[in-house]
Structure 1
Amino acid sequence: MKYRERFDRRVVREDVWIPTQDGRTRLHARVWRPADAEASPVPALLEYLPYRKSDWTAPRDAQRHPWYAGHGYASVRVDIRGHGDSEGTPGDEYDAQELADGVDVVNWLAVQPWCTGKVGMFGISWGGFNSLQIAALAPEPLKAVVTVCSTDDRYDNDVHYTGGAVLGIDMLAWAGTMLAFASRPPDPANVGADRWLPMWRERLAALEPFLHTWLDHQQRDAYWRHGSVCEDYGAVDAAVLAVGGWNDPYRDTVLRLVEHLPGDRVRGLIGPWSHQYPDRGLPPGPVIGFLQETLRWWDQHLKDQDTGIMDEPLLRAWLTESVPPATSYDVLPGRWVAERHWPSPTVTWDERVLAQDPTPVLVRSPQHTGLDSGRFFPFGNASDLPPDQREEDGRSVCFDTAPLTERVEILGRPRLRLRLDSTTPRAHVIVRLCDVAPDGSSTLVTRGVLNLLSRHGRDRSVEWRPGTYETVEFELNGTGYAFPPGHRVRVAVSDAYWPWVWPHGERGALSVVPADSAVLLPVRETTDGQPIRFEDPEQAPPLPVTYDRPADPRPERLVTHDVATGEWRLEVDPNYGGSRTYPDGLRYEESASETYTIRSDDPLSASAVSTWTIRLRRGEDHGTAWDAEIVTRTELRATRADFIMDSRIEARSNGETVAKRQWHRTTPRTSG
């Protein structure tokens, strides 16, 4: 990593308040810009998040915002209403108020004396989401967007549902995380020693767990269509650079955006990365000079300079070579490939029947199938990726090709067509595509889920008629992967996948007719054009943050099995960074855990719990002493008829209780 300490233009930083149109609420912003920008105005770049610029994202912000400023931009980091140091109360994800405030910020930036009037937005995950969503609202100054690890489909490609099925692992975990995050107080160093506590009380009083809302909407309805850019790609007028990673759950958005947005306003980039910016050096690599690549995008669309970025292929994607299974790779082997069009004429469908035997095969997986699924959101940690899939394969029904006689490269979203029957009106089917080496090891390549209730559309729930065979077809997640000669392609079919997929309330079985079922592989020609190259990564100097290194760290993922009861237990430490101390004296302590339990024979035994403890404190030697702590717990379980949710918060200041809140909620299982 190269750290750039000197730039052509000297950089200054200032904190400002940005008014919103309601006239009552101001958003807190941090602006890095050239010192001479009022004399020589520059375009503005906006990153707009709920994750607290003063502490949680501060190390990441320091890598990129000053760097952009040094290259002739005003780079602006804004806390969303009710989060961090901004005024107001927190709302739902991407609600109308958040997006309206974002439009206000874009328009405010455009009229500042240091701005040329042109604005870009960028962000990863939440910031990538709202960049796209605000672009679809088309504020006039917003000319370009860089959206990283984001989605255009809030229902079927987010943390709530997949294939119409409840995402047990992140429906609960992310709801628990956001309950804790939304409970954090503003920093008195930024909002004032006399204001932070009243602001905090107001936030805590307004909180409602996201989990309640998400499970109230189990089909694709107006709630999910709001903010889903896929509803109307034509609404996006800004130029969009869409970036993703094959090890991130949002990579399919890149493929959809390059297919549906006008080719003169979009480019796609998919690397081997996890849920991280591609310049941060977190596994899996290779790392690239991502800031330099985005600078080409900004200069092209905000400064009207021909940087050659629009001469790049429509889609640049990493094609991964076959690898032995592992939960982390420093660098994945492979190469960059280019596609001038998407869908690509170099990619054709190779349809392979699962087996010639017309005899139905019974699929009845134990409920703990899926414990080796890996993390839904890989963050570059040691236990992120799925381990050897042989145990999962043993809990599934597998269909293998003969050993391949030649190399097979796939790029895109494989499809499964299954002829099947279900013994119960409600069921799931899960398919994993694996690379089986001659030694028998099984590497997960990609996977897909279908809730059979949603087989006729995600906006409706249609029960199965047991005893009736139907043909269903669905996509797996996108991938770029090369199967070498001598390896086999495995299609593994199960009807359970815990904790990714919350099980239906009764245990049944599927009957699959192999001769009438097939996998459709998007096979790519192996010819390549000009080599694709990126610069080495470069950033601004890192923020001097001190991280704790516990002497006895707990496991990131621990699976235990009670043989007597048949209960399986998965304990997860999400490891978002732990505890740390900032240069301004702020001590930020964070501890989280997720626990998922299920008995192998009972879908109603499923339970998921998320707990968080966060403490923020600063000593008198750094100004006014400050000590605030939040403890949260969120639990989800279900009967055959209902989901049951229990959540609670306790907030303390200097050891004294500021607020206690508790919720108990049930909601009918309409599709989940």
Structure 2
Amino acid sequence: MHIRTSFPYETAHEDVLIPLPDGTRLYARVWRPLTDEPVPALLEYLPYRLTDWTAPRDWQRHPWYAGHGYASVRVDIRGHGNSEGIPADEYAEVELADGVEVVNWLAAQPWCTGKVGMFGISWGGLNSLQIAALAPEPLKAIVTVCSTDDRYDNDMHYRGGSVLAVGMHSWASTMLTFASRPPDPAHVGQAMWRDMWVKRLEAMDPFVHTWLSHQTRDAYWRHGSVCEDYGAIRAAVLAVGGWHDPYRDTVLRLVEHLPGDRVRGLIGPWSHQYPDRGLPPGPAIGFLQETLRWWDHWLRGRDTGVMSEPALRSYVMDAHPPATTYPSLPGRWVGDPAWPSPSVTPISYALQGAPVQVRSPQHTGVEAGRFRPLGNDADLPPDQREEDARSACFEFEVPEETWVLGRPRVTLRLTSSTPRGQVTARLCDVAPDGASTLVTRGALNLSARHGRDQAVPWKPGSTEDVVFDLNAIGYAVPPGHRIRLSVSSAYWPWIWPQPGSEAGFVLDPTGSTLELTVRARESMPSTPSIGFEEPEESEPLGVAVTTTLDEPRPERLVVRDVGAGTWRLEVDSSGGTPIGGTRVYPDGLELTEDARETYTIDASDPLSARARSAWSVRLHRPDLAWDARVSTTSDTTCDAQDFITSCEVICKDGDEVVFHRTWKKRIPRAAG
């Protein structure tokens, strides 16, 4: 990583309040080049608190853009950070309407040319797409990283029509904690912060209530899903993803459905991170320089050659032994002129053998790895041999090197004795020594087999063919290895188990197939050559991290109670602070976070599933004698009829409790 200290422009930054039509003001930080000429503006729009939580990351890129002649602006959405107003659900209409107002406000500033771009990762990438679909006139281009075009089937809530236990629960508890954090008196004033905080807290309702109340792909999920109408997007779109990010399919769909003269796709080996940050797996690229080419083309009218690049640039990873982290993965970049690519051919493999009863233990899935990897040491799936042993497996020889690029598909002929259940398929690369590396996977709620917008119970005893896609991947399987398709009836804690699913199903290989999207091999390097500059960023903010002498706890710990037959997965989900550590910012703010998720299940009982999260946050300014604390717990269990949720929030100003509320709710299991 190169730290850039010299730029074409000197820069300055200031914090401002952006007015909205209803009188609410959004807190923003603006980095600008010191020039008398107006410049284009770039917007990143998030709920993640620009004065503390994302500040280190913001300083890596916003000053860099300003140094290259752009006004780079980071804005906290309504009700978060130091912005006024009440928090809303994710991607609510008010959030998107506010975003349009911010785009228009930026374009109207005397220092702006009237042309605006948006960028962001995850939440910021999603609302960039969604605001682009609202088509404010000044918004000419976006860069959307690790985002989704489909809020129902390609986000943190559901997958294949099944409840994502590890996604929905953890994300709901995380956002409950974020929404509970106070404004900072150093920025909003000591006379205002507490009143703003209490108003927010009194209006809160845990997101999990809403998300679990919409278990099929209804109007709630169609809102904000740009796949409903790709044609609404008028801005140019650079879509970026990573093969170790759960949202990567969106890149392929955007390249497929948006006009080829204003879309480009880029997929590397990365996790859920910006590709310049150097977090595993690499290799990292000069992503800021790549986006500068995009902005210069679309916002300044310069010929940077960015639209001469292939429509899709993707990294085909070489085979690698299973591990939970990789500093860098070998492979090669390939370019395709369109998606679907003329160089990709679907090849079907027929499953062989007699019908097999698939009755996976309920803890199948404990070796799945983190749903949304962030570059941590324990994020990725370990050797899959134990998971394969809990599944029905079918293997295929690889006589020559085979490049898989795209979304594999399975057709499975199933007979179920119960009306509800789920099926998970994993594609693994099996080395000659037997090591099993997870390549990709997919899941289907059997009640969603006729469409994600409906729940159709299975007629007990009947046989049907079900078809579903696995997540997209770029992977080269070498000769001498075997491709293994592993099929299970459980996948906890990714997939919340259905009542009665312990009975499993019968899988008949006759009529069942695995379809691989096989790309034509080409010489290395690719022709024309695809390359990137070395990664660089602006100078870091200078946040110090203090730690204690406490023994560090594991990032992911699996505990088996042999006598009780239960399995427990414990996950550290802290927001970037070492356990027991505190981040100390240059302005004196001290931020301490601690979070732990626990997922338990009885190997034989799908109704024993339980997810629990506990967060504690302290925001402390010694110079202002400010000491705010937030503690949240979230718990989800189930019976055959309902999900049962319990959430608690305790907020303190020093030793004084300013808010304490508990929510308990039963939500019918309509489909999940």
The equivalent residue for 1:481 is 475
TM-score, normalised relative to structure 2: 0.98
Which letter maps to 2:377? A
Deviation larger for 575-584 or 496-505: 575-584
The equivalent residue for 1:556 is 555
Q: How does 1:158-557 map to 2 (within 5 A)?
A: 158-355=155-352, 357=353, 359-402=354-397, 404-506=398-500, 507-527=502-522, 528-551=526-549, 552-557=551-556
Q: Is the 8 A contact 1:556 1:575 kept in 2?
A: no
Q: Is the 8 A contact 2:574 2:593 kept in 1?
A: no
2-structure distance, mates of 1:311, 1:564: 63
Deviation larger for 644-653 or 551-560: 551-560
The equivalent residue for 1:70 is 67
Deviations 1:470-521 (A, max 9, x none): 1111100000000000000000000000000000012222111112101000
2-structure distance, mates of 1:312, 1:99: 31
Q: How does 1:37-186 map to 2 (within 5 A)?
A: 39-186=36-183
Which letter maps to 1:375? R
Q: Tell me, what secondary structure is at the counterpart of 2:261?
A: coil
The equivalent residue for 2:10 is 10
TM-score, normalised relative to structure 1: 0.98
1-structure distance, mates of 2:504, 2:657: 51
Q: Is the 8 A contact 1:50 1:79 kept in 2?
A: yes
1-structure distance, mates of 2:330, 2:141: 32
CA RMSD of aligned residues (A): 0.7
Deviation larger for 97-106 or 544-553: 544-553
Deviations 1:545-568 (A, max 9, x none): 012345421100000111111010
2-structure distance, mates of 1:50, 1:348: 42
Q: Tell me, what secondary structure is at the counterpart of 2:275?
A: coil
Q: Is the 8 A contact 1:149 1:248 kept in 2?
A: yes
Which letter maps to 2:251? V
Q: Tell me, what secondary structure is at the counterpart of 2:104?
A: helix
The equivalent residue for 2:667 is 667
Which letter maps to 2:513? A
Deviations 1:261-308 (A, max 9, x none): 000010000000000000001000000000000000000000011100
CA-CA distance at 1:88 after TM superposition: 0.4
1-structure distance, mates of 2:539, 2:213: 45
Deviations 1:524-552 (A, max 9, x none): 10024212100001111011101234542
**Tell me, which stretches of 5 or more residues in structure 2 are unaligned?**
none
CA-CA distance at 1:350 after TM superposition: 0.8
Q: Is the 8 A contact 1:85 1:191 kept in 2?
A: yes
The equivalent residue for 1:29 is 28
2-structure distance, mates of 1:525, 1:255: 18
Mapped pair 1:652 → 2:661 = no
Which letter maps to 2:53? W
Which letter maps to 1:373? A
Deviation larger for 587-596 or 523-532: 523-532
**Tell me, which stretches of 5 or more residues in structure 1 are unaligned?**
none
Mapped pair 1:593 → 2:596 = yes
Mapped pair 1:576 → 2:575 = yes
Which letter maps to 1:589? T
Q: Tell me, what secondary structure is at the counterpart of 2:260?
A: coil
The equivalent residue for 2:631 is 631
CA-CA distance at 1:575 after TM superposition: 3.7
Mapped pair 1:602 → 2:585 = no
Q: Is the 8 A contact 1:318 1:480 kept in 2?
A: yes
Which letter maps to 1:439? D
2-structure distance, mates of 1:581, 1:335: 40
Q: Is the 8 A contact 2:421 2:499 kept in 1?
A: no
2-structure distance, mates of 1:274, 1:175: 21
1-structure distance, mates of 2:92, 2:416: 38
2-structure distance, mates of 1:297, 1:188: 38
2-structure distance, mates of 1:41, 1:4: 24
2-structure distance, mates of 1:548, 1:511: 55
The equivalent residue for 1:19 is 19
Structure 1 pair 350–208 and aligned structure 2 pair: CA distance change class (3 A) = same
CA-CA distance at 1:21 after TM superposition: 1.6
1-structure distance, mates of 2:311, 2:434: 38
Deviations 1:114-135 (A, max 9, x none): 0000000000000000000000
Give the length in aligned residue pairs.
Answer: 663
2-structure distance, mates of 1:548, 1:329: 27
1-structure distance, mates of 2:529, 2:390: 42
CA-CA distance at 1:428 after TM superposition: 0.2
1-structure distance, mates of 2:52, 2:599: 30
Deviations 1:344-391 (A, max 9, x none): 111001100011x3x321100000000000000100000000000000
Which letter maps to 2:617? I
2-structure distance, mates of 1:125, 1:669: 28
2-structure distance, mates of 1:258, 1:103: 24
1-structure distance, mates of 2:79, 2:527: 50
2-structure distance, mates of 1:322, 1:535: 25
Which letter maps to 1:365? S
1-structure distance, mates of 2:96, 2:408: 34
CA-CA distance at 1:199 after TM superposition: 0.4
